[in-house]
Amino acid sequence: MSSKVTGAPTISRILRQARTRRDTSDIPGFSAAFGSKSRHGITQEETAKLAGVSRRWYNALESGRPANYSDTFLQAVRRILNLTSDEWHIVYRLTRGHTPVEAPVSPLRALLPEPVRDLVEHSEKWPLYVSDHRWDVLAYNAKILEIFPWMTYGLNVMEWALTWPEARTQLINWQEEWASPMMAQLRVHADQYRGDRRLQEVIEVVHRDPAARKLWDSPNLPLNVTHPVSHHPRRLYLPRQGGREFAVRFMAFTPIELPSCRLMAITPAEPAAVQPSFTLD
């Protein structure tokens, strides 16, 4: 479907203003990818690279030129530029001709016991979230947004980690430390929940990404991996921490009342004396 962009000046104004005010220190891995910047503002080229497209393609959007812009691309621009809700709805509606579709809500969200939700959402020490067997997020706390700001947009964990270009900017040694064990988990669940339509939608999204599809087909993926292993730390960049690398551990717990779900806690892999800034101010 060809987009009909009728509000080109409005789109240009919104995106340029958003780029100008964007604090790049809030983008995990930005300094490592582009070098340190002492001023606000992100360029078209930087925005395009984080979104996984050419500068020419991003420039076409910012200039308001009609094209078949995908929801994936528009959502990436939304997060990279941190568009407000009003800005996002205006840009999307002028570009696509209708209001944006909200991210799918897991039916298990309503079944999550309130005490478990309260535990997660009110915990102040460590980043916590709960996801279902499709990796749709059911609940999270404020601390998780200090590591993964994207979670506020309702993205599926697997879709973000395995297919989004910005994930590969934040997650160090993306294929070995992150994508391979996560893909192994996804393949196990694909066999375990063959009739789950929502899980099949997630797998289809993953398959559309060439690098992720190649990994899915790899004969070298670990077998029978069902959850992150806490003794294998993973490295990543954090918002407002420049190019400094952090090592974290993912600790998985099963809520007894929802055994198909996981409560995930993220803790520093090194003692506080070595890694003092993991808990952000």
Domains annotated on the chain, with CATH: 8-96 (1.10.260.40), 107-268 (3.30.450)
| Side-chain-facing half-sphere of 65: CA atoms under 13 Å | 8
Over 50: is that where the pLDDT of 1 sits? Answer: no
Q: 25: burial class by Cβ within 10 Å (0-12, 13-18, 19+)? A: middle
Q: How far is CA 270 from CA 74, 266, 276, in A?
A: 37, 12, 9
pLDDT one-digit tens code per residue, 39-79: 789 999 999 999 999 999 999 999 999 999 999 999 999 99
Task: Report how far residue 73's alpha carbon sits from residue 178's, in angstroms, rounded to the nearest whole number.
Answer: 23
Query: Which residues neighbour 89 within 8 Å (Cβ) at sequence distance 6 or greater?
Result: 99, 100
Task: Report how far residue 178's alpha carbon sits from residue 212's, in angstroms, rounded to the nearest whole number.
Answer: 12
Over 90: is that where the pLDDT of 224 sits? Answer: no
Q: Which two tokens stand for residue 98?
A: 């209708």
Q: What percent of the chain has pLDDT over 90?
A: 81
Q: How confident is the model at residue 279 (pLDDT cuts 50, 70, 90)?
A: low
Nearest to 266 by CA among 256, 254, 279, 255: 279
Q: What is the mean pLDDT of residues 127-141?
A: 97
Instruction: Dihedral sign for Cα 193, 196, 199, 200, please.
Output: positive
pLDDT one-digit tens code per residue, 165-200: 999 999 999 999 999 999 999 999 999 999 999 999
Instruction: Please answer whether residues 42 and 99 qualify as being in contact, where contact means their C-beta atoms are separated by less than 8 angstroms.
Output: no
Task: Report how far residue 253's alpha carbon sits from residue 239's, in angstroms, rounded to the nearest whole number.
Answer: 26
Over 70: is that where the pLDDT of 274 sits? Answer: no
Task: Report how far residue 92's alpha carbon sits from residue 129's, in angstroms, rounded to the nearest whole number.
Answer: 29
The C-alpha angle with vertex 82 and arms to 136 and 269, in degrees rounded to 5, equals 55
Q: How confident is the model at residue 273 (pLDDT cuts 50, 70, 90)?
A: very low
The reported pLDDT for the residue numbered 276 is: 42
Instruction: Please answer whether residues 76 and 51 qualify as being in contact, where contact means their C-beta atoms are separated by less than 8 angstroms.
Output: yes
